[in-house]
Amino acid sequence: MRQTVAHGGAMMYRGSYVMAVLLGLLVTSSSVGVSPDCWSDLNVTNQVSDKANNSTLRILNGLSLDNSSGLREDVTPDVPECVEPPTSFPLQKYESTWSLFFVGVALCLGVWSAAANSLPLAAIIKHEQLHTPAYILMANMAAGDVLTGISFTIGSSGLMYVAATDTVPSDFMLRLRSSSILLSGMSSAYSLVALTAERYWFIVHGMSYVNNVTNGKCKVVIVFVWMWSLLLAVMPHVDSNCTGRRFEEGCVPLGSGLSSNIVIVVLVFVFIPMSAIFLLNLGIFRCLWKHMKAIAAQEAAVGAQPSVNRKSAITIVIITVVFLVGWMPIFVELARLSTNLLTVYGMMMFIILNSAINPIIYGFRLKEVRRGVARLFVNNH
C-alpha cells in the first residue's frame, strides 16, 4: 500500500513538473512576441500544422526525468519568430492614366510657378525704386510661390519616378514632402497678412504711415514669418502617431501620415491669419467706402486716374481670393480628416494653380513691377 501511494505521488510530482515546464515555454514564447494574433496572420497549411504537432510530441517525449539531474534533455522548440510585415504601399491601387496626367500637369505648373514668380522677385530685389514696404512684402509673397513651385516640381518628379520604378518612398522623404507643403502654405498665409496689414496702415492711417512702416521693419517681419512658418512645418517630423501608417483609419494620407492632433494645430494656425486678413480687408473697404464719393469727385474734377489706394486695395483682395481658392480645398480635406489619398492629392492641384496665377496678377495690376521685369531683359535705360 505504501509503495502504491509513493508511486502515485511520484506520478503526480512528474505531472506537475511537466505542466510547469510547458507553462514556462508558453510564457517564454509570449515574451519574444509570439501571440495568438500573430499566429493567425501566418500562412500556415495543414502540412505545417502536422509538423508543429510532431514537434510538440517530440518536446514532450524529451521531457523525461531521472533521479540525479531532474531534466535529462533541454529541448528548445523550433518556433518561427512572428515578424510584423512592413506597411505596404498600394501603388497599383492609385496608378491610372488620369492620375499620371495630373502629376504631369502639376510638374508643368510647378516649373512655371518657380520661373514666373522669380521674375518679379528678381525685379524688386534689383531695382532700388521698388525698395518700398509694399513691394518688399510682395517680393516675400513671390518667394513663397517660388518655394511652392520648386516643391511641386520635385514632388511631381518623385511621383513619376515611383510610378516608373515601383519603388516605395521612405517615411523621411514623405515627411519632407509634407513639410515643404506646410512651409509654403504657412509662409504664404502669414506673408499675405503682412502685406494686407501694410495696405491697411497705408489707407486707414496714412498720416503716420511713413514713420511707422519702414523697409527695416518689413524685413524684420519677413524674417519672423519664415522662422514661424518653418517651426510649424517641422510638425510632421515630430508626429509619431501616424508615421508609416498613412493608409490606416484616423490618419490623413499627407506625407507619411498626419494624426488628428497635428491637423488641429495646423488648422488653428491657418484660421488665425485668415481671420486677420478678413478683418484688415474689412477695415480697408470701410474706410474707402466712407471717402469714396469725396475721392471720386476730386478725381473727376482734376481728371486724375483712379486712386492708387483703391487700386492697390483691389489688388490685395484679388490676391486674397486667389489664395483662398487655392488653399481652402486642402484645408477642408484636412478638417474632414479625409483618408482618401486621391482626393487629398487632387485638392493640392489648387495650391499650385494659386502660385501659377499670382505672377499674372502682379503683371496685370502692378505697372511698376511689369516695368521692372521688362528691364531685367534689356539694358538699364
Tell me: the pLDDT tens digits for 217-271? 999 999 999 999 999 999 888 877 777 677 777 788 877 778 888 889 999 999 9
Q: Tell me: do 208 and 276 sit in the same domain.
A: yes
**236 inside domain:** yes
**18 inside domain:** yes
What's this model's pTM, rounded to 2 decimal places?
0.71
Positions in the chain whose pLDDT score sits under 50: 1-77, 79-88, 302, 304
Q: Tell me: do 170 and 230 sit in the same domain.
A: yes
Task: Give the long-range contacts of residues 55-62, CB within 8 A, separation 24 or more.
Answer: 59/25, 60/18
Residue 159 corresponds to which cell in the numbers above?
A: 511621383
Q: Tell me: do 114 and 52 sit in the same domain.
A: no
Question: What is the b/e burial string over 264-281, where b = at least 16 CB atoms within 10 angstroms of the residue's CB?
Answer: eebeebbeebbebbeebb
pLDDT for 258 equals 83
**381 inside domain:** no
- How far is Cα 174 from Cα 57, in angstroms, rounded to an integer? 50
- How far is Cα 340 from Cα 247, in angstroms, rounded to an integer? 8
| Boundary-marking domain end, from 71, 101, 127 | 71
For residue 253, what is the domain's CATH number?
A: 1.20.1070.10
Q: Within 166-214, where are the H helices?
A: 171-204, 209-212
Name the residue type at position 113: S
**78 inside domain:** no
Q: Tell me: do 38 and 151 sit in the same domain.
A: no
pLDDT for 228 equals 95
* Domain ranges, residue 67: 2-71
Q: Tell me: do 208 and 352 sit in the same domain.
A: yes
C-alpha distances (whole Å) from 282 to each of 194, 276, 362 are: 15, 10, 22
**153 inside domain:** yes
CB atoms within 10 A of CB 299: 14
Q: Tell me: do 343 and 272 sit in the same domain.
A: yes
pLDDT for 306 equals 54
SS3 call for 252: strand
pLDDT for 346 equals 84
Length of the chain: 381
Q: Tell me: do 310 and 174 sit in the same domain.
A: yes
Contact call for residues 232 and 190 (beta carbons, < 8 A): no
pLDDT for 268 equals 92
**76 inside domain:** no
Q: Into how many domains does the chain fold?
A: 2
Q: Tell me: do 39 and 97 sit in the same domain.
A: no
C-alpha distances (whole Å) from 185 to each of 146, 177, 227, 335 are: 12, 13, 13, 15
Q: Tell me: do 281 and 201 sit in the same domain.
A: yes
pLDDT for 288 equals 78
**293 inside domain:** yes
- How far is Cα 265 from Cα 267, in angstroms, rounded to an integer? 5
**86 inside domain:** no
| Boundary-marking domain end, from 71, 99, 123 | 71
Q: Tell me: do 101 and 64 sit in the same domain.
A: no
Q: Tell me: do 67 and 95 sit in the same domain.
A: no
- How far is Cα 94 from Cα 43, in angstroms, rounded to an integer? 27
